[in-house]
């Protein structure tokens, strides 16, 4: 029996225009975090490339390095070189005429001068044996602080501890931590007794003071003072002004820096000289205005 023939119906394809294309996300390649070493290495490579390709860079970079090194050496050595040159010329051994009417990192120990308590003990004994300073209970019993300013040196309102037991190591070191020191037994401006007022502090080598502003080393700048400069003490809310009349360099055992002149009110400021060295003392003498 013969089979019937038939035709297969054509396949119909329907396109649905509403079907949205799927978003294909290709994962990014993971990169390791940038480290400090990567930055340094990159900078080094850039620097090497610059030095190889630029004539100007080959001239400027060494010049900048030389100038920077020279500046660092200058900051460390210039203060002492200047002091020695001035000393050799007699600049510091100066005095004035009569006053016109109306007119002072590595560890600190590396930089600071430190004559030590034994020096002050010996100096005190010798000075008071001379019996120049008059008895002054008002000054001797004061234990507070006052301030000193030397405008010409840009030293303003520096604290001074009164009546420091300079011959006692602990007291001496403690007083000079962040302050200057008043020599025990000498005068103070609040007293009517005409004694010498003595204030001292460390000096420091190189640029220690300009970098740190350590008050105890503020007298590193003392050798820049000039005859006629003004010094102000502020004590108990009252101002007392003095005029510089003399500067000098003396040996460590010179007791005149403590005693002054008998019966005369003076202000004496001293520090080790040259800066950071205990060999001698740089002394400033001032009289009341």
Residue 59 shares a structural domain with residue 169: no
| Residue 53: other Cβ atoms inside 10 A | 9
pLDDT digits (tens, 9 = 90+) for 189-209: 999 999 999 999 988 887 888
User: What's the CA gap between 30 and 43, in Å, rounded?
Assistant: 24
β-strand pairing of 280-288 with 266-273: antiparallel
In a domain, 268, yes or no: yes
pLDDT digits (tens, 9 = 90+) for 73-95: 766 666 666 666 666 655 555 54
Phi, then psi, of 220 in degrees rounded to 5: -60, -25
Residue 65 shares a structural domain with residue 113: no
Residue 163 shares a structural domain with residue 190: yes
> Domain containing 223: what range?
94-288
pTM of the model: 0.64
Phi, then psi, of 108 in degrees rounded to 5: -55, -35
The pLDDT assigned to 118 comes to: 74
Residue 145 shares a structural domain with residue 252: yes
Residue 71 shares a structural domain with residue 144: no
pLDDT digits (tens, 9 = 90+) for 249-273: 998 888 888 988 888 999 999 998 8
User: What's the CA gap between 221 and 130, in Å, rounded?
Assistant: 31
| Residue 255: other Cβ atoms inside 10 A | 17
DSSP-based three-state secondary structure for 82: helix
Q: Distance from first CA to last CA of the chain, Å, rounded? A: 149
Residue 65 shares a structural domain with residue 147: no
Report the domain count for the chain.
2
Looking at the chain, the whole-number percentage of residues with pLDDT higher than 70 is 73
């Amino acid at each position: 029996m013969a089979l019937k023939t038939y035709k297969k119906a054509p396949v119909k394809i329907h396109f649905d225009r509403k079907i949205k294309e799927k978003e294909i996300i290709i994962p990014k390649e993971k990169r390791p975090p940038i480290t400090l070493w990567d930055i340094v290495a990159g900078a080094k490579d850039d620097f090497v490339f610059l030095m190889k390709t630029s004539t100007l860079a080959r001239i400027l970079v060494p010049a900048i390095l030389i100038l920077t090194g020279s500046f660092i050496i200058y900051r460390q050595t210039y203060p002492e070189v200047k002091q020695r040159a001035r000393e050799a010329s007699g600049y510091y051994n100066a005095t004035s005429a009569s006053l016109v009417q109306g007119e002072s990192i590595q560890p600190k120990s590396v930089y600071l001068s430190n004559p030590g308590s034994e020096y002050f003990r010996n100096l005190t004994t010798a000075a008071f044996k001379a019996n120049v300073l008059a008895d002054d209970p008002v000054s001797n019993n004061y234990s507070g602080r006052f301030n000193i300013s030397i405008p010409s040196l840009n030293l303003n309102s520096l604290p001074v501890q009164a009546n420091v037991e300079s011959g006692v190591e602990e007291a001496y070191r403690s007083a000079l931590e962040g302050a200057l020191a008043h020599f025990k037994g000498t005068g103070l401006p609040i007293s009517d007794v005409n004694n010498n007022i003595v204030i001292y502090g460390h000096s420091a080598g190189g640029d220690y003071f300009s970098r740190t502003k350590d008050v105890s080393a503020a007298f590193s700048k003392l050798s820049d003072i000039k005859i006629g400069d003004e010094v102000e003490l502020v004590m108990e809310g009252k101002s007392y002004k003095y005029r510089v009349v003399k500067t000098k360099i003396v040996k460590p055992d010179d007791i005149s820096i403590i005693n002054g002149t008998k019966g005369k009110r003076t202000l004496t400021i001293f520090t080790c000289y040259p800066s950071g060295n205990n060999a001698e003392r740089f002394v400033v003498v001032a009289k009341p205005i």
